[in-house]
Amino acid sequence: MATQDLDESSITDAVLARMRRAKSARFKKVIGSLVRHLHDFAREVELTEAEWEYGIDFLTRTGQKCDDKRQEFILLSDTLGLSTLLTQMNHRSKGGETEQTVWGPFHRVKTPKFPLGANISEKVRGAPCFVNITIRDAKGKPVKGAIVDVWHSDDDGFYDVQHKAWNGAMRMRGIFNPDDEGRVWFRTILPTAYPVPTDGPVGELLKASARHPMRPAHMHFLVEAPGYDRLVTHVFNAGDEYLDSDAVFGVRKSLVRTYEKHKAGVAPDGTRMRKDFYTLEYDFVLRPVRRSKAR
């Protein structure tokens, strides 16, 4: 295709033609579709050069806000609903397994491993919360070899990575291996509702959209086991005022549970508590991954 006399209509086909020799069919499909939609978007809204420049600057600043503890691009994807869309497409529920939801921007690698019953919130202020969960398959059988990764915010709505004074210390997060009956139990503190970070480009987007930045109180769970689809999900606190307006569109009815409040007394692990405490129970059901037939 000649490219010396392109106009605003023919430019799209010219760009796509340049990709025809790409070896990957998937590459051509994905990038080709991106080009078509991107060009159609610009034509539909009649994008100005000033708006284009602002968009480039916005994305540049989004990247500059990312580091080893914060992922502004994931947060952007979350607040635009793209993360939830991808989750729903790639992990379609069959009706029995636990529903997936967004990662969130505060998951960390090399999280410490704890024995069952451990306290993952040592030296952190907050109402004590005792968590008791099970990891099973659709038939109710314990899943063998599972790994459970949990993380959540503190009483003020901050994750450990947001506390500069902690110097990178990992708190309110940990990895557990279920017992032979698929059970995991541990002690932590009650998570609270909190705002997503608004000191970056995502905060600008939320403000311009007249949206609040709040997420309802929840705990994150990542569950992996051989032969099963990796589960990334939350358990939300019933009654939270932000359940129907989560800033990242992550709430599912099946993931809402009551964090039960108890008067001072004996906790589930036998500890005598001098103040009120909470308990959370949840049964996670994993979806088996179909093995492709050998050719």
Q: What CATH number should be reported for the domain holding residue 180?
A: 2.60.130.10
Asked if residue 147 and residue 208 are part of one domain, the reply reads yes
66 found inside a domain: no
Asked if residue 15 and residue 158 are part of one domain, the reply reads no
Asked if residue 88 and residue 32 are part of one domain, the reply reads no
Buried b / exposed e across 226-242, counting CB within 10 Å, b at 16+?
eebbebbbbbbbeebeb
Asked if residue 155 and residue 204 are part of one domain, the reply reads yes
Higher pLDDT, 134 or 292: 134
Asked if residue 264 and residue 165 are part of one domain, the reply reads yes
Asked if residue 145 and residue 30 are part of one domain, the reply reads no
pLDDT at residue number 103:
87
Question: Averaged over 239-246, what is the pLDDT?
Answer: 96
Query: How far is residue 257's CA from residue 109's CA, in Å, rounded to a whole number?
Result: 27
pLDDT band of residue 293 (cuts 50, 70, 90) is very low
62 found inside a domain: no
pLDDT at residue number 107:
87
Asked if residue 238 and residue 109 are part of one domain, the reply reads yes
Asked if residue 91 and residue 185 are part of one domain, the reply reads yes
65 found inside a domain: no
First vs last C-alpha separation in the chain: 41
Asked if residue 40 and residue 144 are part of one domain, the reply reads no
192 found inside a domain: yes
114 found inside a domain: yes
User: Which residue from 206, 101, 197 is spatially nearest to 157, judged by alpha carbons?
Assistant: 197
Asked if residue 137 and residue 202 are part of one domain, the reply reads yes
State pLDDT tens for residues 137-176. 999 999 989 999 999 999 999 998 888 888 778 889 999 9
Query: How far is residue 254's CA from residue 86's CA, in Å, rounded to a whole number?
Result: 19
Asked if residue 36 and residue 138 are part of one domain, the reply reads no
Per the listing, tokens 């969130």 go with 104
58 found inside a domain: no
Q: Number of folded domains in the chain?
A: 2
Note the Cα 42 to chain centre separation in Å: 30
218 found inside a domain: yes
Report the share of the chain in percent with pLDDT over 90.
83
Query: Phi and psi at residue 39, in whole multiples of 5°?
Result: -65, -40
State pLDDT tens for residues 191-237. 999 999 999 999 999 999 999 999 999 999 999 999 999 999 999 99
Find the helix or strand (DSSP H, E) in which 106 lies: none
What is the residue range of 27's domain?
A: 11-47
Asked if residue 106 and residue 25 are part of one domain, the reply reads no
Residue 294 has pLDDT above 50, yes or no: no
A 10 A CB-CB count for 192 gives: 20
Strand partners, 111: none
The angle subtended at Cα 268 by Cα 262 and Cα 270, nearest 5°, is: 115
